[in-house]
Amino acid sequence: MYGIAILGFGVVGSGVAEVLEKNADRIALGAARELSLKYIVDIKDFPDSPYKHLLTRDFGAVERDPDVRVVVETIGGAGLAYEYTRRALEAGKSVVTSNKELVALHGCELLKLAKERGVNYLFEASVGGGIPILRPITQCLAANRIYEIYGILNGTTNYILTSMIKEGASFEAALKLAQDKGYAEADPSSDIDGIDACRKICILADLCFGRHMNPEWLKTVGIRTVTAADTVYAGRGGCKIKLLGRAVANGDGRVSAYVAPHLVPSENLLAGVDGVMNAIVVRGNAIGDVMFYGAGAGKLPTASAVVADIIDAAKHERSRKLISWEEGSPSMLRDSAELVSRWYARVAADEKTVLAAFPGAVALGGDGGETAFIAPGDSKAGIDGALSSFRVLSLFRVMD
Amino acid sequence: MYGIAILGFGVVGSGVAEVLEKNADRIALGAARELSLKYIVDIKDFPDSPYKHLLTRDFGAVERDPDVRVVVETIGGAGLAYEYTRRALEAGKSVVTSNKELVALHGCELLKLAKERGVNYLFEASVGGGIPILRPITQCLAANRIYEIYGILNGTTNYILTSMIKEGASFEAALKLAQDKGYAEADPSSDIDGIDACRKICILADLCFGRHMNPEWLKTVGIRTVTAADTVYAGRGGCKIKLLGRAVANGDGRVSAYVAPHLVPSENLLAGVDGVMNAIVVRGNAIGDVMFYGAGAGKLPTASAVVADIIDAAKHERSRKLISWEEGSPSMLRDSAELVSRWYARVAADEKTVLAAFPGAVALGGDGGETAFIAPGDSKAGIDGALSSFRVLSLFRVMD
């Protein structure tokens, strides 16, 4: 028997159970064996669930059962999830997860432990929900030196920004709408302050550049400061405002990585990625630019990626997947402020004054004594200096 | 020694040699061993090539050399390429290729032969050039029932259509430009008549639906009949004209597959895929829609995909990749004419007459006694019937 245990019967965990049942024949074909869901571990009771006979609170039973070959960790967070993941790996079971917080914080260590025990730790669903992205990076782009990766990594903020752009809503109104629709949580800070996107760009950077990138090392700016006016001015410049996570190799082994709102020109396909969808661009020295697009969250899309990892773990029981990265340190980061790009600024000044101070700038209009414009390429220090005599209302990079 | 032989030292073959050398360290890391390029088989001499010491005309030497573990077939066509592929597989060597014609015609048989000999036949580069698409379908989406796949599968025709849209060029002028730039061949028919796209949608359908789809069974319409006027009218309707290959599961085991120009609404990301770029949308019952975008042709992008397959073959020398499909027959096709969609038509009639005949149609204007419009959802038979009293100048599906 090739047994599966699911830890945490929330949205993703119950989606995994659903996909395992719904697509059982196709999954058995892919895994070249029958998979059997044997336990669901949760502290809550689910008296009406069709899976109630599998529910238990006792992780120890899972840990001791030799029939359980893959443990699906969909608890979330870095507390109990961390403990159970370690214990499952130590017990010689592969672990599959959608938990970006845990992978971003402890992925390096957990992959090392998996390697020691000859099992797999897989986490395709931790970035981009159901979008195939981690496996394509490690396998399909294995012949490339990847020099940059960036993308729309958080569906909640993309939904809010899309509402602001399409309906002219204020940030507060758009957030309220996202909460009403279930796309944003009651406490939305981990989404709207960029923390979720930061974890994901760290995991992508870990895989692309081979060294652990701690989310705490990155400058992370969310979307609270984006105004409806900014989205209108951006539109006049042929751009949409998107929250991007980005990591760029510097050529000297250092990496610039950060999360911030950007103006994305309409020629860039990311500008057309609306609502809760995610998309990730990878740039390699042979392939050029490739983009991966799809649902970045949601029950079944995320479960689709988790189950693909279960299939992979089942197929590779004796041949470990070669996914790993080295320990890292803050010294491998190059300050993202050094990156040169065009800048969008909104300042309390008239257009004439702005254009006199910024030769080559493109004015996007303004009213009530403010002017929005796009300034030519400069570093953060450079643009800050040039703006020092202005009262700055908004300042975002343009993704060129 | 893990030796590689390249058959055919053209654009892709020489790109493979270049990528193997340029990214050797990263490739060795991915393959977990050193790869060594040992032979290049070509009937031509390349006296100035840095690889001239590896060049030979003798495939027999490759066939007999036990050090050669992977043969890269970049000859093209289904003649010599077919013979050498069979012989290499029979000699117990894995074969990696970008040859869509051979895979579309003989993939089923060659995969069977590879299985018998315990080696791999891999062809990621045959569809979408460097874009990771076949491996994501077989691995990352393995937990899904895929019910539709469609995309822009040919860069030459997309370049021509993009020129027509952006510069208002005629088809002939845009084709000439593409030839001058090296994007179209002197005899461009296999691209512009949709034959290349047809081979690719067949390979995608083989993988998604598990049975061999012969390119000869498909209705294949190219872009010769698209006029500059059509691209303008389409633009007024918020659409771009794109050549799509498409395969849709019917639910009864049959598949509708065809190649034809479509109007793609701007909300669909494919509308923003311009120039020589390709993009493929996969629709699965858990994942929803995912899209893969990148360079569909070109020396290094295609070589990137070929070398990823070499790495995969090297890593899986003892555990075969589970890629295969069954024999098929024309009876598994559902006539694509039965598929219902909205239609774009340009007819020799005035707007009033058109709107009287097509209630609910959206007029896109016209001059010189012609009218372009988008008709509501109908089958091909239905729209043909409704148009029977009109002289039809253009008729294309809308991709809804």
d(CA A351, CA A390): 12
**Which residues lie closer than 8 Å to A298 by C-beta, 6 or more apart?**
A129, A130, A276, B288
Of B130, B271, B290, the CB nearest to A293: B290
Closest to A71 (Cα-Cα) out of A105, A121, A12: A121
Closest partner residue to A143 (CB to CB) among B142, B269, B307 is: B307
On the CB side of B388, CA atoms within 13 Å amount to: 6
**Chain B residues lying within 8 Å of A300, measured CB to CB:** 285-288
Strands B55-56 and B35-41: parallel
Token couple for A131: 């979008």
CA-nearest of B89, B37, B82 to B63 is B89
Burial class of residue B251 in the structure, from the number of CB atoms within 10 Å of its CB (0-12 exposed, 13-18 middle, 19+ buried): exposed
pLDDT at B368: 86
User: Each residue of A160-185: pLDDT tens digit?
Assistant: 999 999 999 999 999 999 999 999 99
* Digit-coded pLDDT (tens) for A276-300: 999 999 999 999 999 999 999 899 9
Which of A19, A209, A304 is most worth mutating to test chain B (most B CB atoms within 10 A of its CB)?
A304
Which value, in Å, is the radius of gyration of the alpha carbons in chain B?
23
Contact state of A304 with B295 under an 8 Å Cβ cutoff: no
Residue of A nearest to B298 (CA): A287
pLDDT at A324 (0 to 100): 85
Note whether B387 and B345 are within 8 A (CB).
yes
Q: What's the distance, Cα to Cα, between the start and end of chain A in Å?
A: 52
Contact B282, B146 (CB under 8 A): yes
DSSP β-ladder status, B371-378 and B341-347: antiparallel
The confidence band for A66, taking pLDDT boundaries of 50, 70 and 90, is very high
Residue A130 token pair = 């159901």
CB contact under 8 A, B294 and A290: yes
With vertex at residue B309, the alpha carbon angle to CA A134 and CA B322, rounded to the nearest 5 degrees, is 80
- The pLDDT score that the predictor gives to residue A251 is 86
Supply the mean pLDDT for chain B.
95
- Complex prediction ipTM: 0.94
Does residue A182 sit in helix, strand or coil?
Answer: coil
The whole-chain average pLDDT of chain A stands at 95
Distances from the Cα of A58 to the Cαs of A64, A74, A84, in angstroms? Answer: 11, 16, 11
Find, in chain A, the residue whose alpha carbon is nearest to that of B267: A272
Q: What is the pLDDT confidence band of residue B287, given thresholds at 50, 70 and 90?
A: very high
Distance from CA of A391 to the nearest CA of B (A): 37
Return the ∠ at Cα A367 (arms to A365 and A369), rounded to 5°. Answer: 110
CB within 8 Å: A307 and B286 = yes
pLDDT on residue B323: 83
Confidence check: pLDDT of B320 > 80: no
A32 pLDDT tier (thresholds 50, 70, 90) = confident
pLDDT at A228: 96
Q: Which residues of A touch B303 (CB under 8 A)?
A: 143, 286
pLDDT tens digits, residue range B67-88? Answer: 999 999 999 999 999 999 999 9
Please check the confidence at residue B318 and state whether its pLDDT lies above 90: no
| Nearest CB partner across the interface for A293, out of B269, B284, B295 | B269
**Residues A197-206: what's their mean pLDDT?**
98
| Cβ atoms A354, A373 nearer than 8 A | yes
The strand ranges marked E within chain B are 2-7, 35-41, 55-56, 68-73, 94-97, 121-122, 146-152, 219-220, 239-249, 255-265, 277-284, 288-295, 341-347, 362-363, 371-378, 392-398
Residue type for position A25: D
Q: How many helices (H) and strands (E) does chain B have?
A: 14, 16
- The answer to whether A206 and A325 are in contact (CB under 8 A) is yes
CA distances from B340 to A345, A355, B267 (A): 48, 54, 20
Residue A64: enclosing H or E segment and its boundaries?
helix A59-64
User: Mind listing the pLDDT tens digit for each residue in A207-249?
Assistant: 999 999 999 999 999 999 999 999 999 999 999 999 999 999 9
Contacts of A284 in chain B (CB under 8 A): 304
pLDDT at A317 over 80: no
B139 and A135 within 8 Å at the Cβ level: the answer is yes
Amino acid, single-letter form, for residue A204:
L
Nearest by CB: A319 against B307, B312, B319: B319
- In sequence order, the 6+-apart residues with CB closer than 8 A to the CB of B203 are B100, B103, B104, B107, B123, B126, B127, B134
Q: pLDDT value at position A240?
A: 98
pLDDT band at A16 (very low <50, low <70, confident <90, very high): very high
Active site residues of B: 200
The reported pLDDT for the residue numbered A225 is 96
Structure tokens at A74: 């969909």
pLDDT, residue A368, reads: 86
A contact test, residue of B19, B144, B274, B323 with most A CBs within 10 A: B144
Percentage of the residues of chain A whose pLDDT score is greater than 90 = 94
- Residue scoring higher pLDDT (B320 or B212): B212
Rounded distance, CA A400 to CA A261, Å?
13
- Please return the burial class of A10, using the count of CB atoms within 10 Å of its CB with bins 0-12, 13-18 and 19+: middle
Would you state the structure tokens that stand for residue A171, as one six-digit string?
Answer: 């940030």
Residues of chain A with C-beta less than 8 angstroms from the C-beta of B142? 26-27, 30-31, 307-308, 311
In contact, A291 and A280? CB cutoff 8 Å: yes
Determine the Cα–Cα distance for residues B190 and B170; give it in Å rounded to an integer.
20
B139, B322, B323: best mutation site toward chain A, by most A Cβ within 10 Å? B139
pLDDT of residue B251: 86
Cβ(A136)–Cβ(B135) under 8 Å?
Answer: yes
Question: Are residues A290 and B136, on separate chains, in Cβ contact within 8 Å?
Answer: no
> Looking at residues B109-116, what average pLDDT do you find?
96
pTM to 2 decimal places? 0.95
pLDDT for position B359: 92
Q: Which residues pair with B5 in a beta bridge?
A: B39, B71
Nearest to B204 by CA among B89, B349, B274, B103: B103
Mean pLDDT (whole number) for A373-381:
97
User: Residue A14 and residue B390: Cα distance in Å, rounded?
Assistant: 55
